[in-house]
Amino acid sequence: MTTSLLELRGVNAFYGSAHILQGVDLSVQSGERVAVVGRNGVGKTTIVNTLLGIAAMRGGSVHMRGESLLKLAGHTAATHGIAVVPQGRMILPNLSIEENLKLGASLRRPGEWTLDRIYGLFPMLAERRRSPGTALSGGQQQMLAIGRALMANPDLLILDEPSEGLAPVIVDELEKLLRDLTETGVAILLIEQHLRLVLDLAERFYVLSKGHVSETGLMKDVDRETLQARIMQ
């Protein structure tokens, strides 16, 4: 078996004494498109928060390219080539649009993504580069959050509910963008409640329920109804 890009084994994670993730197993290969689905509050965001050191991991392990990430500090994931488009976008209002993008490139990982390429992809960001990031509409802020993550030239892009609040045409654009991205070898971990983007984009899925993976499989083996039913179980 080849080593996975990202691998979580039996991860247990806590907020204070609240035990949220109870033995999560999950892996992502290079260039793969993987989805995590599940109902409200089952712990999807907590997977991200564990990688970011916000939720405390006690028990289990996280490996990136076979290397064990023992102490998950806030910057650990970024250092290992993981970029995050967080739930709620988290654009910094005290930075301009351009500064938000530059923040994404803090580690100066080499790669094809530069300010110019992001501006080429999202021209409306270029037009308003000096405005505060929060002057944008919700959908535009989502583009900025994606641009910020791409500026890191990541090997793994984690998106937490990226289609939240986006118009259907924009979701289609997003799907194409993410698909093109994986052609270049970037892996995608897509966390979603809405199945549309998941069904169109993902190759593999994990269903999360109450802090553990209740089901996993290939996207081509399930249809919308089956997947929906398993989420609701």
Partner 1 sequence: MIINALNGLVYGSLLFILASGLVLVYGLRRVVNFAHGAFYMLGAYIGYSVAIHAGFIPGIIAAAAVLIAVGVALDLVVFRKLADRDPLVTVLVTFGVLLVLEDFVRTVWGTGNYAIDPPALLSGVVQIAGAPFPIYRLFIVFASALMAGGMVIWLRYSRSGLWVRAASHSPVVAAMCGVRTNVLGPLVVGLGAAFAGIAGIVAAPFLSLNPSMGAEILVMSFVVSVVGGLGSFGGAFISAMILGQIQAFGVVYLPEIAALLPFLLMALVLVVRPQGILGNKV
Ligand X SMILES: Nc1ncnc2c1ncn2[C@@H]1O[C@H](COP(=O)(O)OP(=O)(O)OP(=O)(O)O)[C@@H](O)[C@H]1O
Residues of this chain that interact with partner 1 (CB under 8 A) are 52-54, 73-75, 77-79, 84, 86, 90, 92-95, 99, 102-104, 106-107, 148, 152
Per-residue x/- track, 39-78, ligand X (CB under 6 A): -xxxxxxx--------------------------------
Applying CB under 5 A, does 163 fall inside the site for Mg ion?
no
CB burial of residue 136 (10 Å; 0-12, 13-18, 19+): buried
Q: What's 3's DSSP letter? A: P
Q: What is the greatest pairwise CA distance in the chain?
A: 49
**Residue 46 binding partner per list partner 1, ligand X, Mg ion, none, with a CB distance cut-off of 5 to 8 Å that depends on partner kind:** ligand X
Applying CB under 6 A, does 180 fall inside the site for ligand X?
no
* Contact partners, residue 67, CB within 8 Å, separation at least 6: 80
Distance CA 77, CA 74 (A): 7
Distance CA 179, CA 138 (A): 22
CB burial of residue 168 (10 Å; 0-12, 13-18, 19+): exposed
Interacting span for ligand X (CB under 6 A) from 37-45, 73-81, 120-128, 146-154? 37-45
Interacting span for Mg ion (CB under 5 A) from 38-46, 180-188, 193-201, 205-213? 38-46
Binding residues for ligand X, rule: CB under 6 A, are 15, 18, 20, 38, 40-46, 87, 193
